[in-house]
Homo-oligomer: A and B are copies of this chain.
């Protein structure tokens, strides 16, 4: 079964509000093997609202709409759908009594406008709403299922779970969606595409999406089938193919973030880490400590923007800064080694660079970053020129620093990154 979601409300066509009900609904529908093929957001306008339902009915079996069931003049979903389907609206006395009761409980009389909420299209089933005054509606029409739900998430979510889900379960097939997400660092979108294309194109029953996110590429595999074992086997096979094609560039096979992967490696290897940052300004420390329980592996870090503090906090010799420049591989190494010694951690990271927009030169343009990782066996250093603006450069630098830690555990002893339990 395929579905479309229609969000109704002029406030959703302003710059301030985004429809989030559809994320919840999509997740729920996907679990039942129902694919959402389109989402529409329309204002409180009879014509565009009607067009949205009409078009959706031409394409899909299931339509779920949110919003526009309120008591005021601009709440048009009920009337518009009844009109479109050629069904009359009748006053439902039971609903009316319920709404009147709600107002009585609040010590108020029901305003006359609320009568609208008790109007039900011929043949529609009423979806009770214990959390608000607007009931939902379920309509079956010529092979279509239409659910009209209230807009507030705290009313919509339980109504879906309690009233819509049971109806869908009776009708949905046994097909379910199986999903796998892999994340890749250190390669661009087209680089990833080129390497994995020969693999995924062999699987015509699997949908592969490649997404660029800051500092990483995400690969989503989605498969729709009623055979769970077959799905797991197929997705495993593809993931193994990708592992060969992308080698150590895959950092996550379960959608976990780079900081989560690094946190788990540090924990499982009983290692601690410290950081001396310049251009990233605390971003690396902030990412390392964003994970619950980070105090077990992160002892501390310094943000040494000034040269004096590089010397005071991370023992970087002042002459080194003078001769090589604050942005140099030598200073990155000194920062990493100095902070590791100062803190007494297993690993030490040093980052120095030019995040811009000012401060660049011909020799060291904006985006130049040196990152070093100091460990018991020595030190590793990488110099890069990142593209993009200040925010992008800082993010990329923190991502590469985390990736160096990950790669360290991959090759310099330590337990290899786990095959984290794969999500279906």
Chain A positions within 8 Å of B, measured between CB atoms, are: 10-20, 23-24, 26-27, 30, 35-45, 48, 51-52, 55, 59, 70-74, 106, 108, 111-114, 131, 152, 154, 188-191, 193-194, 197, 207-212, 218, 220, 222, 275, 277, 280-286, 288-290, 292-295, 298-306, 309, 312-313, 342-343, 356-358, 387-392, 394
B114 touches A190 (CB 8 A): yes
Copies in the complex: 2
Measured between alpha carbons, how far is A19 from B18 in the docked complex, in Å?
8
Which chain B positions have C-beta within 8 A of A209? 10-11, 14, 16, 44, 74
CB distance from A116 to the nearest CB of B (A): 10
A290 touches B10 (CB 8 A): no
B292 touches A356 (CB 8 A): yes
- Choose among B59, B218, B389 the residue that contacts A154 (Cβ–Cβ < 8 A): B389
Which chain B positions have C-beta within 8 A of A52? 38
CB distance from A51 to the nearest CB of B (A): 7
A43 touches B51 (CB 8 A): no
- Choose among B16, B39, B113, B281 the residue that contacts A190 (Cβ–Cβ < 8 A): B113
**CB nearest neighbor in B for A74:** B209
Measured between alpha carbons, how far is A288 from B283 in the docked complex, in Å?
11
With A72-B190, A209-B16, A357-B292 given, is the CB distance from A37 to B48 under 8 Å?
A: yes
A282 touches B309 (CB 8 A): no
A38 touches B48 (CB 8 A): yes
Measured between alpha carbons, how far is A211 from B151 in the docked complex, in Å?
11
Measured between alpha carbons, how far is A23 from B15 in the docked complex, in Å?
4
Which chain B positions have C-beta within 8 A of A14? 26, 30, 209, 220, 222
CB distance from A398 to the nearest CB of B (A): 9
- Summarize A's interface: helix, strand, loop or mixed: mixed
- Choose among B59, B220, B277, B356 the residue that contacts A48 (Cβ–Cβ < 8 A): B59
Measured between alpha carbons, how far is A119 from B12 in the docked complex, in Å?
35
A15 touches B30 (CB 8 A): yes
- Choose among B20, B45, B303 the residue that contacts A18 (Cβ–Cβ < 8 A): B20
A15 touches B26 (CB 8 A): yes
Measured between alpha carbons, how far is A198 from B334 in the docked complex, in Å?
60
- Choose among B111, B113, B390 the residue that contacts A290 (Cβ–Cβ < 8 A): B390
16 inter-chain pairs at a CB distance below 8 angstroms, sorted by A residue, are: A13-B35, A14-B30, A16-B220, A18-B18, A37-B42, A38-B42, A40-B40, A72-B190, A106-B188, A280-B286, A281-B288, A282-B301, A289-B305, A293-B358, A298-B303, A309-B343
B24 touches A15 (CB 8 A): yes
**CB nearest neighbor in B for A292:** B357
**CB nearest neighbor in B for A39:** B41
B43 touches A38 (CB 8 A): yes
A55 touches B45 (CB 8 A): no
B39 touches A13 (CB 8 A): yes
Which chain B positions have C-beta within 8 A of A190? 71-72, 111, 113-114
B211 touches A16 (CB 8 A): yes
- Choose among B193, B289, B295 the residue that contacts A71 (Cβ–Cβ < 8 A): B193
B282 touches A108 (CB 8 A): no
CB distance from A396 to the nearest CB of B (A): 12
Question: What 15 new A-B contacts, CB under 8 Å, besides A74-B208, A300-B304, A302-B313?
Answer: A11-B220, A13-B37, A15-B30, A15-B220, A18-B19, A38-B41, A39-B40, A40-B40, A40-B41, A70-B189, A108-B188, A277-B282, A289-B303, A299-B306, A300-B305
